[in-house]
Amino acid sequence: MNSNRYAAEIPKIGFGTYGRLGEAGIASILTALETGYRHLDTAQTYGSEPCVGEAVRRSALHRDEVFITTKISTDNLAEGKLVPSLRRSLDDIGVDRVDMCLIHWPAPNGQIPLATYMHQLVETQSLGLTRLIGVSNFTIALLQEAKKLIGEGLIAANQIELNPLFLNNKIARYCLENDILVTCYQPIAQGRVSGHPVLAPIARRHDATEEQIAIAYELAKGYAAIPTSGQAARIRSNFAATALRLTPQELAAIDGILPGARSINPDWGPAWD
């Protein structure tokens, strides 16, 4: 299990808000909050920051009951741009600070030095614009360089593509060993886990769906997961995975699934592990 020092602060099941736009998006986020999700994940590039804020305001929840994560766009990594961009995000969400701010992607093709934006990220925390800081789509090499730049223990999480069909073991293991919470995006592989020959019999034994088994697996490994959907029934079904407990044999069976291809792989991305 993950012994990350921030683990108790970050709800392990979150609701992703990519594609959750307009009134329909607000309704989906409200459904998630009513279901029990207490972590909302957005980003500057999603366009959903205002919807997140509006859903929280319409809910019966206090602001401090909802953990909000946003991510800094690669357009805002240059010197002097990151902090003002986060201030705009806070205005869009309608909050004084977020709970966690992540670098969404390392600079495309390494065109901006890591030091340039990591020091700005630390500044957002010192200014009180975010409670925790972290990264997304970072490799082991980038995490090691970041630690040298800003010191140990500041990076709370690394959000990466991870699901039973793409276990991303090397970077996940490094994060676990270095006190960095793994947050899984694409946790149900966009539904491709459905009918999988390893997951299907496990799902039948638990009277569950393969998607629920995927999320339960990620949570059992000590990761956080941020599924999303625009369908109320699926939103509730994904959350119900938090009640599932897989056996060591079932976890081992999923561990043994041969990895498929990465789904999110821009040509300007980092040199993956």
Query: How far apart (Å, rounded) are the C-alpha atoms in residues 243 and 241?
Result: 5
Judge contact between 110 and 75, C-beta under 8 A: no
Task: Render pLDDT for 3-48 as a digit per residue (tens, 0 to 9).
Answer: 567 878 999 999 999 999 999 999 999 999 999 999 999 999 999 9
Of 4-13, 83-92, 233-242, give the lowest mean pLDDT range: 4-13
Exposure on the CB side of residue 40, measured as CA atoms within 13 A: 31
Active site residue 37: no
pTM metric for this prediction: 0.96
Q: Which of 6, 46, 117, 174 is catalytic?
A: 46
Give the Cα separation of 108 and 120 in Å (integer).
17
Strands 39-41 and 15-16: parallel
Place of tokens 């040509």: 267
Share of residues in the chain with pLDDT > 70 (%): 99
Task: Please state, rounded to an integer, the average pLDDT across all residues of the chain.
Answer: 96
Helix or strand or coil: residue 246? coil
Locate the domains of the chain by residue range: 15-255
DSSP assignment of 68-105 equals EEEEE-GGG-STTTHHHHHHHHHHHHT-S-EEEEEESS
Give the three-state DSSP class for 61. coil
Q: What is the mean pLDDT of residues 125-143?
A: 98
Q: Tell me what pLDDT residue 6 has.
A: 81
Total Cβ atoms within 10 A of residue 253: 17
pLDDT digits (tens, 9 = 90+) for 193-219: 999 999 999 999 999 999 999 999 999
Strand order in the sheet with 155-161: 15-16, 39-41, 67-72, 98-103, 130-136, 155-161, 181-185, 224-225
pLDDT class of 141 with cuts at 50, 70, 90? very high
Mean pLDDT of 119-136: 98
Give the side-chain half-sphere CA count within 13 A for 50. Answer: 7
pLDDT in tens, 156-169: 999 999 999 999 99
What mean pLDDT is predicted for residues 229-254?
98
Q: Nearest to residue 188, comparing CAs of 162, 157, 160?
A: 162
CATH architecture of residue range(s) 15-255? Alpha-Beta Barrel (3.20)
Kindly state the tokens that stand for 157. 């999480």
pLDDT score, position 3: 52
- The dihedrals phi and psi of 103, each to the nearest 5 degrees, come to -75, 120
pLDDT in tens, 56-85: 999 999 999 999 999 999 999 999 999 999
Identify the pLDDT of residue 51.
98
> What's the pLDDT band for 2 if we cut at 50, 70, 90?
very low
